[in-house]
Chains A and B, each alone.
Chain A
Amino acid sequence: MAKIHVTTTLNGVETEFLARPEQTLLAVLRDELHLTGTKEGCGSGDCGACSVEVDGRVTCSCLMLAAEAEGRSITTIEGVAQGGELHPVQRHFLEEAALQCGFCTPGFIVAAKNLLERNSNPTEEQIRFWLAGNLCRCTGYDKIVRAVQAAAAEMRGES
């Protein structure tokens, strides 16, 4: 089959690309569109490094065919900061040192931002459940949870 022509809204901008039918969204983001912030850890839906938002839901881009992006609205880590201004989740990941090698970080930030848009005041348990699909082999998770809590407090106007 010829390549498929896909039109999607990517980080707020209407974007067109060509994809092979079996190509995943992750492969197109990284290899064709050169948005390499989205990482591939496992390619099987286990690690969450490839997390993106599709129509407001956080999804593994390795589990989605690029052709499925037709007509959808997609946000990657590159779309999280606004005009050079870091999102509070990004800033608090830096301030709380919630990363070491950084490979898992884009996925965590995309997933955590999605959580805070749905629930402005999650408990620690809710944060840990929401982020259970994101694996980190460096930090031990505690600093990540604290960064999300600090970002939530700031976004609620409490700090």
Chain B
Amino acid sequence: MNFASPRTIDEAVRLLAGVSGAGHVLAGGTDLVVQMTAGLRSPELVVDIKHIPELTGIREDADGFHLGAAVCGAALSEHAALKATWPGVVEAVDLIGSMQVQSRATPVGNLCNASPAADSLPALIAAGAEVSIIGPEGPRRVPVAEIPAGPGRTTLRKGEVITTIHLPPRPPRAADAYLRFIPRTEMDIAVVGSGVNLALGPDGRIAAARVALGAVAPTARLVPEAGAALVGTALDDTALDAATAAVRAACQPIDDKRGTAEYRTRVAGVIFRRAAAAALARARARSL
């Protein structure tokens, strides 16, 4: 194996595009190094992106927040403005692993590891986040939901590197929340996860809603029908029942040791409702 730590994105792309075998980006390494140690992956080249200045910071401007691909989870939690604006995204990332893992693991790594149960994904998808990618054929920008292709697989092409996650500008009276179900209080993998992102209109009714689910299908997914069922309502029981039915209809889980398919489908509805209530409470608090 070869190891490189380039100082520019172009150099990273050139190295990854030029390797004959498997090339791999190294950010936090909390998945990659474990997989290498266990012999599950033996890349020919590992490219550490933490010395590329554009990838190491969090920026805010008129287009929203921009999170560099090498920014670790702990840095997100320490960013007061980001946390106030996107509490659901930050709490989802914060659920990944221990403090020792938070000081290394990145949301982009969570995205590229493409676990169906990745905690940050439902929150990022609900937020409408996009990623910037640079590759041998130039740059492109795509919604987060288009990156995972299946468990452990992505739609990234050879030599492509995700450089930034973009979170859109926030209207007033808007907030998000992420909740997951695990059978203990900490340090576990989601049985079901749900991200909900709501914007309220001046009348206090829901003007926009995005609902996403994790761990109930091969990839985290947006459930447009659930969001649509909430728009124009005050999140009353009728609206929630309709959205819950849409959530359960979108579930295609597997049976495994964490739960049966039937159980996951049922719990997905419960977790979605709680996340929606949390997002609503936050959106109301932000409009005071």
Contacts and interface: CB of A to CB of B under 8 A. Distances in A.
Contacts of B100: 45, 48, 51, 58-60, 63, 111, 133
A133 B96 CA distance: 11
A63 B29 contact: yes
Nearest 5 pairs between A and B by C-beta?
A133-B98, A57-B103, A21-B3, A1-B2, A60-B100
A114 B97 CA distance: 17
A58 B30 contact: no
Contacts of A130: 99
B205 to A, nearest CB: 37
Given A21-B1, A63-B33, 17 more contacts: A1-B3, A22-B36, A24-B33, A24-B37, A45-B101, A54-B103, A57-B74, A57-B103, A58-B99, A58-B103, A59-B104, A60-B101, A63-B30, A65-B48, A70-B5, A114-B99, A133-B187
* A contact face: mostly helix, strand, loop, or mixed: mixed
Contact of B38 (A44, A59, A111, A114): A44
A64 B101 contact: no
B260 to A, nearest CB: 26
B50 interface: yes
Given A22-B36, A59-B100, A60-B101, A67 B187 contact: no
B285 interface: no
Interface in A25-60: 43-45, 48, 51, 54, 57-60
A43 B29 CA distance: 13
Contacts of A62: 33, 37
Contacts of B186: 129, 132
Interface in A1-29: 1, 4, 21-22, 24
A68 B33 CA distance: 12
Interface residues of A, number: 29
Contact of B104 (A63, A70, A132): A63
Contact of B1 (A1, A44, A57, A59): A1
A4 B97 contact: no
Nearest to A21: B3
B19 interface: no
A57 to B, nearest CB: 4
A44 B30 CA distance: 8
Interface in B16-32: 26, 28-30
A67 B48 CA distance: 9
B81 interface: no
Most buried by A among B34, B38, B97, B98: B98
B46 interface: yes
B104 A64 contact: yes
28 contacts: A1-B1, A1-B3, A21-B1, A21-B3, A21-B46, A43-B34, A45-B34, A45-B98, A45-B100, A48-B100, A58-B100, A60-B101, A60-B104, A63-B29, A63-B101, A64-B29, A64-B33, A65-B46, A65-B48, A68-B26, A68-B29, A111-B99, A111-B100, A129-B186, A132-B187, A133-B97, A133-B101, A133-B187
Interface string A130-142: 1011100000000
Contacts of B46: 21, 65
Contacts of A64: 29, 33, 104
